[in-house]
Amino acid sequence: MPAVKGAGWMLDKLMMSLQFPFVQYALIVGVLIALCSALLGVTLVLKRFSFIGDGLSHVAFGAMAIAAVLNLSNELLLVLPVTVVCAVLLLRTGKNTKIKGDAAIAMISVGALAIGYLIMNLFSTSTNLTGDVCSTLVGSVSILTLTPAEVWLCVILSIAVMVIFVLFYNKIFAVTFDESFAKATGTKTDAYNLLIAVIIAVIIVLAMNLVGSLLISALIIFPALSAMRVFKSFKAVTICSAVLSVICALTGLMISILAETPVGSTIVAADIVAFAVFWIAGSIMNRA
Amino acid sequence: MALLTCKNLKLGYETGVVIDDLSFTVNNGDYLCIVGENGSGKTTLMKTLLGLHSPISGSVATGDGLRHDQIGYLPQQTVVQRDFPATVWEIVLSGCQNRCGMRPFYNKEEKRLAMKNIVRMGLGELTKRCYRELSGGQQQRVLLARALCATQQLILLDEPVSGLDPKVTADMYSLIDDINKRDGITVIMISHDMNAAVEYASHILHIGDRIFFGTTAEYIRSGIGFAGGKGGGMDA
Ligand SMILES: Nc1ncnc2c1ncn2[C@@H]1O[C@H](COP(=O)(O)OP(=O)(O)O)[C@@H](O)[C@H]1O
Ligand SMILES: [Mg+2]
Q: Describe the strand order of the beta sheet including B4-13 as a list of residue ranges.
A: B16-26, B4-13, B57-62
Three-state secondary structure along B139-150? HHHHHHHHHHHH
Q: Is the pTM of this model over 0.90?
A: no
Dihedral angle, C-alpha A51, A56, A61, A63, nearest 10 °? 160
Identity of the highest mean pLDDT range in A50-59, A63-72, B13-22? B13-22
Q: To which H or E segment does residue B58 belong?
A: strand B57-62
Nearest to B72 among A185, A228, A232 (CB): A185
CB A86 within 8 A of CB A202: no
Please state the ipTM of this predicted complex: 0.88
How far apart are the C-alpha atoms of A63 and A82, rounded to whole Å?
Answer: 7
Task: Check residue B126 and report its DSSP letter.
Answer: G
Task: Say what the pLDDT of residue A144 is.
Answer: 65
For residue B84 and ligand 1, the question of a CB distance below 6 A is answered with: no
Domain ranges of chain B: 77-152
| pLDDT per residue as tens, chain B (236 positions) | 788 999 999 999 988 899 989 999 999 999 999 999 888 999 999 999 999 999 999 999 988 888 888 999 999 876 666 678 999 999 999 999 999 988 999 999 999 999 999 998 889 999 999 998 888 888 888 999 999 999 999 999 999 988 788 888 888 898 899 889 988 999 999 998 888 888 999 999 999 888 899 999 888 888 777 654 444 444 43
Task: Say what the pLDDT of residue B235 is.
Answer: 42
Average pLDDT over residues A68-83: 82
How far apart are the C-alpha atoms of A108 and A99, rounded to whole Å?
Answer: 13
B129-182 per-position pLDDT tens digit: 999 888 888 888 899 999 999 999 999 999 998 878 888 888 889 889 988 998
Task: Say what the pLDDT of residue A143 is.
Answer: 59
How far apart are the C-alpha atoms of A136 and A207, rounded to whole Å?
Answer: 11
A120-146 per-position pLDDT tens digit: 888 766 667 777 777 777 676 655 667
Average pLDDT over residues A208-235: 89
Residue B103 CB: number of other CB atoms within 10 A? 11
Question: Which residues does A81 contact at the CB level (< 8 Å), separation at least 6?
Answer: none
Chain A interface includes B83 (CB < 8 A): yes
CATH code, residues A22-209+216-287: 1.10.3470.10
For residue B117 and ligand 1, the question of a CB distance below 6 A is answered with: no
Task: Say what the pLDDT of residue A77 is.
Answer: 82
Task: Say what the pLDDT of residue B168 is.
Answer: 82
Test the A interface: residue of B89, B94, B144, B149 with most A CBs within 10 Å: B94
CB A14 within 8 A of CB A222: no
Ligand 1 atom 9 nearest Cα:
B44
Task: Say what the pLDDT of residue B50 is.
Answer: 93
Task: Say what the pLDDT of residue B228 is.
Answer: 43
Task: Say what the pLDDT of residue A108 is.
Answer: 80
A128 vs A239, residue with greater confidence: A239
By mean pLDDT, which of A245-249, A260-264, B18-22 is the weakest? A260-264
State the pLDDT confidence band at A5, using cuts at 50, 70 and 90: low
CA of A136 to the centre of ligand 1 (A): 48
How far apart are the C-alpha atoms of A149 and A155, rounded to whole Å?
Answer: 10
How far apart are the C-alpha atoms of B188 and A97, rounded to whole Å?
Answer: 30
How far apart are the C-alpha atoms of A118 and A116, rounded to whole Å?
Answer: 5
Task: Say what the pLDDT of residue A102 is.
Answer: 67
Task: Say what the pLDDT of residue A112 is.
Answer: 85
Contacts of B37-42 spanning 24+ positions with Cβ under 8 A: B37/B208, B37/B234, B37/B235, B38/B235, B40/B207, B40/B208, B41/B11, B41/B207, B42/B158, B42/B190, B42/B207
Q: Which of A206, A259, A254, A279 is nearest to A38 (CA)?
A: A206
Ligand nearest to the CA of B36: 1
pLDDT greater than 60 at residue A27: yes
The pLDDT mean for chain A works out to 85
Task: Say what the pLDDT of residue B210 is.
Answer: 85
Domain ranges of chain A: 22-209+216-287
Q: What is the identity of the amino acid at B1?
A: M
Task: Say what the pLDDT of residue B236 is.
Answer: 38
For residue B40 and ligand 1, the question of a CB distance below 6 A is answered with: yes
Task: Say what the pLDDT of residue B232 is.
Answer: 42
CA of B143 to the centre of ligand 2 (A): 16
CA of B44 to the centre of ligand 2 (A): 7
